[in-house]
Amino acid sequence: MKKLRLYSVGSVWGFLTIAMLLAPAAQSLQAQVIFENNFDAQPSGVYTEQHLADQWNQPTFDNGVREGRVSIVNGDQAFGQSGASMAVSYPAGQHGTKGTGAQWILRLNAQYEEATLRYRVKFRQGFDFVRGGKLPGLAGGTAPTGSAPSDGVNGWTGRLMWRTEFNGVSGQPAQLTSNAISYAKYATSGFAGDGRQEDKRYFTEADDSRVVWQSGVWYEIVQYVKMNTPGQADGIIRVSVDGRQVYNQTDALIRRDASLKIDSMYFSTFFGGNEDWKTSKDEVVYFDDFEISVPEISEPPAKPVYLKVPSAYPTIQSAIDAARDIDIVAIRGHHRENIVIDKPILVRGYTGTRLTAVDDNLPCITVNSSGATVKRIRTTGGLNGVEVVTGSTDVLLTSMDVREAHAGIVVNEGCDRIRVVKCDSKRHQTVGISIEGSDSPLISSCESLFNGNVGLEVIDSDNAIMVRNRVGENSGIGILIDAGSAFMANNLSYLNGGEGFLIRQDNHNFMLNEARRNASDGVAFEASFGNDVTRNQSRINEGNGFYWGPLTAGSTAVENWGRINVGLDFLDDGDNNVSGNRSGDGTGE
């Protein structure tokens, strides 16, 4: 019904390879188009939810379409005064996503390290830009916007924006031109560099003057994004307008973990901010010629083969032994064996897949290969539930349920860039999750509960990322960090037999965490220097809320909240800047 294509490498839709300009720079590179929509075959009139589903890969939400603010126009209103274009309306006196414009997310059928987005946009003749509004851009993961922060693991957005210097009453006077800016949100965006706000970076011409958009003019926007090396500020966000490069950022730290990539485009356009940004009259913006391209793949990748257990192989180990490096061992049912994964394959279960160790002197699952992935298996017993052997780097453990072993998930030395995501580790004799001597680990959205010692520990493993974990009711310390330069955000540690968080070594970023009802201090720093401690909460602990021991120095603690702790809410026995915090029971800082 439309000139619409959404391609996926290896999908039944295939893919189209063309020669085009990959980035808004001088050279032409080979690229493949993975999505395009120019609306030319679409009849004029209201753009329906069915049109949206058919042409944008069935978005899970939309603003503006069901409200009738999106339509198709043709003739003189369309680009080139022929074919058809999309028109988005912004009613008078409204602002935000509920009252103006339209929003949805186009999900691509694969993930990419770099991609280029093209589209055309025109602000209707006489358009009053007021204070500003949003325009589409590439995105990934959860595509956070507004108050949702980007932590380098959950997601990022690369939207654009029109923005004026106006700060008065809407329409008095009308703002007939506007600046253009990059409005990306990623791990270090915003004025504080913590991913809680979007960047506001102006597009500039060759003479360093700001790019000025006018009404009644069609512009071609090209946005190129290349993801950064995880943890390094070398990502690229580049924009051209009508073939002129106007923005070139080469130091973006978009992500902290390699699993976060480019997998979507955020169609986002509305007036806002707040009510001060509301439209002065009915407005319209026109869009056309959407296209997303990625670097060309010269040869199709080899396809993995599913080795199914027990339908094709009687045991999990026999399937692993028969697998090639790219294959998938797919397991259903309940199995009794200890397995060793010694090649970079995916070993995955499904709902109800269980594995019980037959020899409790060996790990239930041993991972002895770099690049291996283990997914959605419930394990019971074993020396360790899952053990990653020394030197096995870039291993992913995800959606695991590890129970009743001597220790839960154990990562040995030299297993750099281990990722433990959405895993539960419960009722082990000793530690729930232990990572030692392996740099740049990621522990995200995990639970470690009811263990006989520490819930989660990271030992001598620098540059750890720990986000959105829940650690509770362990006999010892909840979360122990004895490593350098960890990033910890949105973790909860509660009802543990020791400290909620015990932190050693230096230069940690500790923000938005919570400790409550622990048998010792909520958050304690020992011989730890140069930490940034911001917006955390510690309450109803048997010791102090926040404690900096005698050998701590050089840390800054602001906007934290301590309340109803048996000891002081804030106790500094070192040399730190502990000020500007909130104490809930009058014990003070």
Give the domains, in start order, of the chain with CATH numbers.
Answer: 4-295 (2.60.120.200), 335-583 (2.160.20.10)
User: What is the predicted pLDDT for the residue at 302?
Assistant: 80
* Residue 314 CB-density burial (10 A; 0-12 exposed, 13-18 middle, 19+ buried): exposed
Using DSSP, state whether 3 is helix, strand or coil: coil
Q: Which residues pair with 46 in a beta bridge?
A: 71
CA distance 40 to 55: 12
- 8 Å CB contact between 63 and 104: yes
Q: Which residues pair with 547 in a beta bridge?
A: 524, 571
- 8 Å CB contact between 36 and 116: no
User: What is the predicted pLDDT for the residue at 273?
Assistant: 80
Task: Tell me the longest C-alpha to C-alpha distance in the chain.
Answer: 79
Residue whose C-alpha is closest to residue 20's, from 239, 232, 403, 292: 292
The pairing of beta strand 401-403 with beta strand 447-449:
unpaired
User: What is the predicted pLDDT for the residue at 41?
Assistant: 86
Per-residue confidence of the chain (589 residues) as pLDDT tens digits?
Answer: 333 445 433 332 232 222 233 333 333 357 899 999 999 988 999 999 999 999 999 998 999 999 999 999 998 999 999 899 999 999 999 999 999 999 999 999 999 999 999 999 999 999 999 999 999 999 999 999 988 999 999 999 999 999 999 999 999 999 999 999 999 999 999 999 999 999 999 999 999 999 999 999 999 999 999 999 998 999 999 999 999 999 999 999 999 999 999 999 999 999 998 888 999 999 999 999 999 999 987 677 788 999 999 999 999 999 999 999 999 999 999 999 999 999 999 999 999 999 999 999 999 999 999 999 999 999 999 999 999 999 999 999 999 999 999 999 999 999 999 999 999 999 999 999 999 999 999 999 999 999 999 999 999 999 999 999 999 999 999 999 999 999 999 999 999 999 999 999 999 999 999 999 999 999 999 999 999 999 999 999 999 999 999 999 999 999 999 999 999 999 999 999 999 999 985 444 4
Residue whose C-alpha is closest to residue 411's, from 444, 433, 443: 433
User: Which positions ≥6 away from 23 have C-beta within 8 Å?
Assistant: 29, 116, 222, 224, 238
Hey, which bits of 227-333 come out as E strands? 235-241, 244-252, 262-269, 283-295, 306-309, 328-331
Both structure tokens of 216: 């009644």
Q: How far is CA 398 from CA 442, 444, 474, in A?
A: 11, 10, 22
Both structure tokens of 418: 């281990």
User: What is the predicted pLDDT for the residue at 28?
Assistant: 39
| Predicted confidence (pLDDT) per residue in 382-422, tens digit | 999 999 999 999 999 999 999 999 999 999 999 999 999 99
User: What is the predicted pLDDT for the residue at 55?
Assistant: 95
Residue whose C-alpha is closest to residue 538's, from 517, 508, 559, 509: 517
Torsional class of 93: left (φ above 0), alpha (ψ -120 to 50), beta (otherwise)? left
Please count the residues of the chain. 589
User: What is the predicted pLDDT for the residue at 84?
Assistant: 96
Handedness of CA 515, 521, 526, 531 (dihedral sign): positive
Give the rounded percent of residues in the chain with a pLDDT score beyond 90: 89
- Tokens 């750890």: give the residue: 464
- 8 Å CB contact between 42 and 1: yes
Any idea what the Cα angle at residue 127 is, between residues 125 and 128, rounded to 5°?
A: 155
User: What is the predicted pLDDT for the residue at 436?
Assistant: 98
Q: Which helix (H) or strand (E) holds 496?
A: none
User: What is the predicted pLDDT for the residue at 31?
Assistant: 86
- 8 Å CB contact between 2 and 48: no
- 8 Å CB contact between 21 and 46: no
- 8 Å CB contact between 18 and 7: no
Give the number of other Cβ atoms within 10 Å of residue 11's Cβ.
12
CA distance 521 to 541: 6
Both structure tokens of 359: 């020899």
Both structure tokens of 349: 């279960």
User: What is the predicted pLDDT for the residue at 588?
Assistant: 43
Both structure tokens of 457: 């520990």
Residue whose C-alpha is closest to residue 187's, from 235, 226, 222: 235
- DSSP character at residue 240: E
User: What is the predicted pLDDT for the residue at 526?
Assistant: 97
- 8 Å CB contact between 566 and 545: no
User: What is the predicted pLDDT for the residue at 274?
Assistant: 83
User: What is the predicted pLDDT for the residue at 22?
Assistant: 30
| Predicted confidence (pLDDT) per residue in 190-218, tens digit | 999 999 999 999 999 999 999 999 999 99
- Tokens 């490498």: give the residue: 9
User: What is the predicted pLDDT for the residue at 7?
Assistant: 44
- 8 Å CB contact between 434 and 388: no
Q: What is the CA radius of gyration of the chain?
A: 27
* Residue 46 CB-density burial (10 A; 0-12 exposed, 13-18 middle, 19+ buried): exposed
- Tokens 């706000």: give the residue: 197
User: What is the predicted pLDDT for the residue at 585?
Assistant: 57
Any idea what the Cα angle at residue 369 is, between residues 366 and 375, rounded to 5°?
A: 60
